[in-house]
Each structure stands twice: as structure tokens, then as C-alpha cells.
């Protein structure tokens, strides 16, 4: 069983063959009362389902695909729980394993389903989607001219994937604009989850795009490369538009920057189902100031890293509020040729014990990539975990903070490429990390 932390809700509707529910004979139950055993109610619902299935088999206008109907029912049940639980048929299960290995075919998108359309959580670095300018929050409404509405997420994902070198056209709807078409060429996605470089002033910049099976290995290579130039003056960890990935990799990444102590804890359904992940005593670049960059596309595993380094006061978090996915999904195999289920099995908590579910990580210093007026701020609708259908609410009943004017934003006439990164580098060069964080807290 593998734990996943990703903003992507993978849908799967094809898989287990239909069994003869229509032939099942459940004992007749008495009229429902408040004292009826819940299991009796469940049996009654199963009997109702069997009757409906039998009537559809017999009376629907054309013969139904029984296997597809049954699997749609299974998946519908799981997806009614929360946006991240679903059924994976054997093909989907294999596809998920390939995806977490860091190499697969497609466009390079982290997506979910909302209002019948595919909604982009984040494009992956260096992929066709990113190079075409697809943005977090974009809706994909049609593929090759065929409307998506009415399809499952899994259907849409399968259509977007295909042989490398083949062309695909997607219709994109962006807030405040009209739909437009984007032509893309599919590629084998060999995503390098970690990239790094040295910035002027002896500051190491590390971009972590996702948390797959190779992330920690590539991070170690990045740290070795930075270390060869001597002790850096500062480190920037860029987690913007990182939609998440494997829990184990998030813990390993965080471990490099902490000397022991808690990284994250998970709490399942029962009070005894508590697991704490701790760092080892082997911090790299100890005492070197760090800044973590986040935005609304930073979800799940990236929020664990940012939250741990923030709570442990190892790094200053800069940017905008993260996505707010504070739950853990376990992939549970169902046996040979039966696929698996992807089931939400726990919440996770940062070292201080806070749940960021439906809230997100609030940065220590809020810095926007573009300049905003107060009027423009009021028109902005932050898209987050809380907006997904059937999203799990924060257990403390908290709601995400209302939009506010940023602490820093680009000056008028700004022509640079990345104001958030520029601000982080400026703070590190001036050695104001701790002072800036304390000032932000006081404000």
C-alpha cells in the first residue's frame, strides 16, 4: 500500500466485471425505523441497486454495457466520498505506477474534475502543457473538438495521453475570457523533478516540480553540486505549481534540512492510527538561510515540505497561499486483474499540529507575481481544495483567510520575469531572512 499526496484526482471507471446482482435475493426488511441496524439499511440499498440494475438490463432502450455500468457505480460511490478517492482498473493502476516512477506519455498536467470539466491544478515543468502556457485554474472543456462534459476524468485523461509525436487540440476556458484552442504535440513525459542552479551572490536555487520516486535522488545531486562551490549564502526551494506526489519523498526531501524532530504526522480514522515521521540528525548547510516559494498550485506533498520548514523555523515561506490539500491517499491493490482503489485514509498535520486541509499554507511574506489594485483583489477568486466537490472540510471548522493586499508586489512598470524569486534572492543577499519573517509575523 503506497501513500500518495497529490492534487490530482485520478478517475477510473473501467475494471471489475459485473457480477449477478440481479440474481441476488436479500431477505426482505421491515419498514425503516430509528432503531434499525445500519447494516440492514445497507442491505436494503444493495437490494435497491440490484433491482435498478436488473430493470436497466431489461428495459433500457438499447442493450447496456453491463461492465461499464457496474464500474461507473463503483467509482461513483468512491468519488462521492471526496475528490481524491476513486477506483483504478488494472490499466489505470499500472498507469499510476508509471506516473509516480517519473516517466509516462502525455501532456504533463496535474488535473482534477470540476463541474463536468477537467480543471488544471498545475502544468509540469518542461512539458508540452507548460510550454503552451496552460495555467493553474484553466478549464479544459473539449478535446479534439469533442466536449468533455459527461465524461469521467479517467476518460479525459486517456484521451489526452497518446503516442509521442501525435497532435492534440484542447479547448481551454480561462476565468474572465472566452474559450480558445491550443494545439499540442504529445511527448513521453520524462520529467526531471529537480533542477538547480547557482544565482549571483552564491545562492543556491532548487526547483522541485513534483515528488516522484526519483525526487530525493535528484535533490541529493543538486545539494552536492551546490556544495562544491563552498557553503552557500542562502538557499531557495521553489515549490510553486508543485501538485504533490509521494509522501515518502516529501519526508526525505524535508529531512535534508532538519536536524531531527518531527516532519509530519498522519491521523487515520481511529485515534490509535497515528504515525509520526521524524527527520534524522544530518542537516545540510546548517545555519544557511532558506526561503521556500509557494503559490496556489503548491499542493499536498509540497505543502508538507513548506509547512514543516515553516513550523520548525528553518525557512521563510514566501509567495501566495497554497492549495490546501491536507489528506493522504493510500493505493490499495485488490488482487490480480482487479486493479486497486485510491482511498483517502488519513489527514496530515504539520509539526505544530495544524491541519492545512481546505486552508493552505499562509506565507510568512505574501508576494504576488503581478501588481494588484484593491479593486482587482476583490475580483480574484482563489481556487483551492475547499472548492472541489465533496471536499473534506477542515476539522477545526476554520475557513481560508479572505484575500488581502500583498506585503510586496511588483512596482509599476515592472518588466522582470519573476518578481517572487527576485524578492527571495534580495532578502537572502541582504541577510534579512529572520528579520523579515519576524516582521511578517508581527504584522
Which residues are annotated as catalytic?
300, 311, 325
Complete DSSP assignment for 138-191? -EEEEETTEE-TTS-HHHHHHHH--STT-EEEEEEE-TTS--EEEEEE-EEEE-
The CA-CA-CA angle for residues 137, 123, 433, to 5°, reads 90
Q: Are 155 and 169 spatial neighbours (Cβ–Cβ below 8 Å)? A: no
Find the helix or strand (DSSP H, E) in which 135 lies. none
Contacts of 12 (CB under 8 A, 6+ apart): 71, 75, 86, 87, 88, 89, 92, 93, 152, 154, 339, 342
| 237 beta partners | 206, 292
Q: Are 322 and 304 spatial neighbours (Cβ–Cβ below 8 Å)? A: no
Query: How far, CA to CA in Å, does 81 sit from each of 68, 74, 342, 364?
Result: 20, 12, 11, 33
Burial of 225 (0-12, 13-18, 19+ CB in 10 A): middle
Amino acid at each position: 500500500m503506497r501513500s500518495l499526496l497529490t492534487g490530482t484526482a485520478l478517475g477510473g471507471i473501467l475494471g471489475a466485471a459485473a457480477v449477478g446482482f440481479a440474481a441476488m435475493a436479500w431477505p426482505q426488511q421491515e419498514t425503516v425505523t430509528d432503531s434499525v441496524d445500519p447494516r440492514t439499511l445497507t442491505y436494503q440499498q444493495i437490494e435497491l441497486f440490484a433491482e435498478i440494475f436488473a430493470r436497466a438490463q431489461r428495459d433500457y432502450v438499447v442493450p447496456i454495457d453491463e461492465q461499464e455500468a457496474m464500474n461507473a457505480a463503483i467509482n461513483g460511490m468512491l468519488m462521492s466520498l471526496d475528490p481524491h478517492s476513486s477506483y483504478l482498473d488494472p490499466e489505470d493502476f499500472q498507469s499510476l505506477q508509471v506516473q509516480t516512477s517519473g516517466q509516462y506519455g502525455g501532456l504533463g498536467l496535474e488535473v482534477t474534475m470540476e463541474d463536468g470539466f477537467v480543471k488544471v491544478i498545475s502544468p509540469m515543468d518542461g512539458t508540452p502543457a507548460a510550454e503552451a502556457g496552460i495555467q493553474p485554474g484553466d478549464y479544459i472543456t473539449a478535446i479534439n473538438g469533442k466536449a468533455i462534459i459527461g465524461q469521467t476524468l479517467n476518460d479525459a485523461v486517456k484521451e489526452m495521453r497518446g503516442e509521442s509525436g501525435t497532435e492534440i487540440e484542447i479547448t481551454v476556458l480561462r476565468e474572465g475570457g472566452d474559450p480558445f484552442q491550443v494545439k499540442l504535440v504529445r511527448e513521453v513525459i520524462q520529467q526531471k523533478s529537480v533542477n538547480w542552479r547557482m544565482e549571483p551572490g552564491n545562492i543556491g536555487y532548487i526547483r522541485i516540480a513534483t515528488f516522484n520516486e526519483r525526487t530525493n535522488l535528484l535533490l541529493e545531486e543538486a545539494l552536492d553540486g551546490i556544495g562544491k562551490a563552498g557553503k552557500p549564502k542562502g538557499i531557495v526551494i521553489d515549490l510553486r505549481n508543485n501538485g504533490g506526489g509521494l509522501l515518502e519523498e516529501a519526508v526525505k526531501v524535508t529531512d535534508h534540512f532538519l536536524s531531527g524532530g518531527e516532519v509530519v504526522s498522519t491521523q487515520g480514522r481511529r485515534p490509535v492510527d497515528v504515525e509520526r515521521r521524524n527527520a534524522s540528525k544530518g542537516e545540510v548547510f546548517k545555519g544557511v538561510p532558506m526561503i521556500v516559494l509557494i503559490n496556489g498550485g503548491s499542493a499536498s506533498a509540497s505543502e508538507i515540505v513548506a509547512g514543516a520548514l515553516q513550523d520548525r523555523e528553518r525557512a521563510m515561506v514566501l509567495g501566495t497561499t497554497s492549495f490546501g490539500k491536507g489528506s493522504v491517499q493510500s493505493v490499495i491493490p485488490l488482487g490480480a486483474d482487479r486493479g486497486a482503489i485510491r482511498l483517502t485514509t488519513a489527514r496530515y498535520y504539520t509539526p505544530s499540529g495544524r491541519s492545512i486541509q481546505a486552508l493552505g499554507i499562509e506565507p510568512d511574506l505574501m508576494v504576488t507575481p503581478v501588481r494588484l489594485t484593491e479593486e482587482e483583489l476583490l475580483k480574484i477568486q482563489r481556487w483551492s481544495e475547499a472548492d472541489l466537490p465533496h471536499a473534506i472540510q477542515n476539522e477545526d471548522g476554520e475557513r481560508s483567510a479572505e484575500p488581502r493586499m500583498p506585503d510586496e508586489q511588483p512596482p509599476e512598470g515592472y518588466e522582470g520575469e519573476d518578481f517572487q524569486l527576485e524578492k527571495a534572492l534580495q532578502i537572502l543577499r541582504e541577510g534579512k531572512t529572520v528579520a523579515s519573517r519576524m516582521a511578517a509575523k508581527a504584522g
